[in-house]
Amino acid sequence: MNARPFTVAYTGDYLGPDGKPAIAEIGLDRYEGHPSITVEFLRDQSPTPGDTAYADRLYSLELTPKHVASADGIVIFRPWVKPSSFAEGAERLTVIGRAGAGIDKIDLDACTQNDVAVYNTPDTLTHATASSAFLLMLALAKRLPEQERMVRDGRWDLQPVTMGLDLPGKVLGIVGLGASGRELARLAGAWGMTVLAFSPRASEIEAAHLGVTLVDNLDELFATSDFVSLHNRLDATTRGLITAAHFRRMKPSAYFVNVARGEIVDQAALVTALRDGWIAGAGLDVFEHEPLPKDDPLVALPNVILTPHWLPSTQDAARLTMTQISDGMIRVAQGLAPDNIVNPAVLERQGFQTKLARFAPPSET
């Protein structure tokens, strides 16, 4: 007996204006040899030729009841999954794969209540994220943007007043000693940095093994560090966690790096800190509102490096991420639960078990 048909839909932001995948490494080749699986895209979310406003809508895209009803599995790149996505239920949708580690745009309770499992790829961006933070630290320390402008502007006379720093001996403070935080600690330790971390759930034994000293509070971390890098998750407890008071405690020579989530930081306070010289500079891959408006005050500041929430998105990380996503969909199409489920309570729900059982191969008699 042939396997039950399984449709997996990728969100439309994977496509370019020509209607073809804009990112080559999305793992579609993994479905070869699985004829029961059909791949589609949610094309009403994709850009069209000449749509210059698409980028402004990109981070506000969301799943609709129509999308939920159209597939057995959905792969999420950027869109939101809200309770309204399930306004008409989810009789068919069995699984959502989040291509990355962050799940802050997915309402997990709504998914569970509608018998939809959600899985992510928690480790595929670990090095890419940590090395991005390290790159920003190194570029800030070496004053790379200013060095480049000197050449472009023909201002070689500014050499004596444009001298950077070396990292050995400097203090790095990491907020959140999860996977990417630990990897950054490993990278920084190899460069001779002293590494502190504030991470309430971190293991002291594991931290010590990494050569990391855990501190009791953020105030101490911000006051002591030459570089502070955020690696914690965005949730109700961390939204707006970093405030003006923290920037006030930093050394005027210190730098701030964020490759986690922009909403963790009071961005207006950060602008003030950069503009008024509370800190020396910042490297930011994420922002409170994305895409960052061209007239945002951050854009005009000379002491901040800005990247478009894309710095960790390397070809290597993308391939690893999308391979795991595709393999998870293949498991569900075979009646098996995927790895890395982030709403494990769904596994005990009869509705989810019934959905999953539809794809299980018939028992041999």
Structure tokens at 318: 């993308």
Q: What is the pLDDT of residue 2?
A: 64
Q: Residue 62 class from Cβ within 10 Å (0-12 exposed, 13-18 middle, 19+ buried)?
A: middle
Q: Is 240 left (phi over 0), alpha (psi -120 to 50) or beta?
A: left
The answer for residues whose C-beta is within 8 angstroms of residue 1's C-beta and 6 or more apart is 361, 362
How far apart are the C-alpha atoms of 269 and 257, rounded to whole Å? 14
Q: Mean pLDDT throughout 229-237?
A: 96
Q: How many CB atoms lie within 10 A of CB 335?
A: 16
Residues involved in catalysis: 261, 290, 309
Reported as a pLDDT band with limits 50, 70 and 90, residue 365 is: very low
How far apart are the C-alpha atoms of 129 and 121, rounded to whole Å? 13
Reported as a pLDDT band with limits 50, 70 and 90, residue 25 is: confident
Q: Is 176 left (phi over 0), alpha (psi -120 to 50) or beta?
A: left
How far apart are the C-alpha atoms of 346 and 107, rounded to whole Å? 13
The CATH number that domain 126-306 falls under is: 3.40.50.720
Q: What is the pLDDT of residue 103?
A: 96
Q: By the 8 A CB rule, do 231 and 174 touch?
A: yes
Q: What is the pLDDT of residue 225?
A: 98
Reported as a pLDDT band with limits 50, 70 and 90, residue 3 is: confident
Query: What Å distances lie between residue 297 and 267, 273, 274, 310, CA to CA?
Result: 10, 12, 10, 20
Which CATH fold topology does 6-124+314-357 show? Answer: Rossmann fold (3.40.50)
Tell me the residue type at 342. Answer: V
- pTM, two decimal places: 0.93
How far apart are the C-alpha atoms of 227 and 119, rounded to whole Å? 33
Interval 106-157: pLDDT, tens: 999 999 999 999 999 999 999 999 999 999 999 999 999 999 999 999 999 9
The answer for residues whose C-beta is within 8 angstroms of residue 79's C-beta and 6 or more apart is 11, 13, 45, 61, 62, 63, 105
How far apart are the C-alpha atoms of 193 and 172, rounded to whole Å? 7
Q: What is the pLDDT of residue 23?
A: 87
Tell me the residue type at 190. Answer: A
Structure tokens at 142: 């070496």
Three-class secondary structure of residue 239 per DSSP: coil
Structure tokens at 71: 């597939």
**Is 24's pLDDT higher than 90?**
no
Q: What is the pLDDT of residue 336?
A: 98
| CATH 3.40.50.720 residue window(s) in the chain | 6-124+314-357, 126-306
Q: Is the dihedral of CA 82, 85, 90, 96 positive or negative?
A: negative
Percent of the chain with pLDDT over 90: 97
Reported as a pLDDT band with limits 50, 70 and 90, residue 312 is: very high
Q: Mean pLDDT throughout 334-340?
A: 98
**Is 1's pLDDT higher than 80?**
no
How far apart are the C-alpha atoms of 47 and 344, rounded to whole Å? 34
Q: Mean pLDDT throughout 54-79?
A: 96
Task: Write the DSSP assignment of 118-180 as a string of letters.
Answer: EE--TTTTHHHHHHHHHHHHHHHHTTHHHHHHHHHTT-GGGGGG------TT-EEEEE--SHH
**Is 364's pLDDT higher than 70?**
no
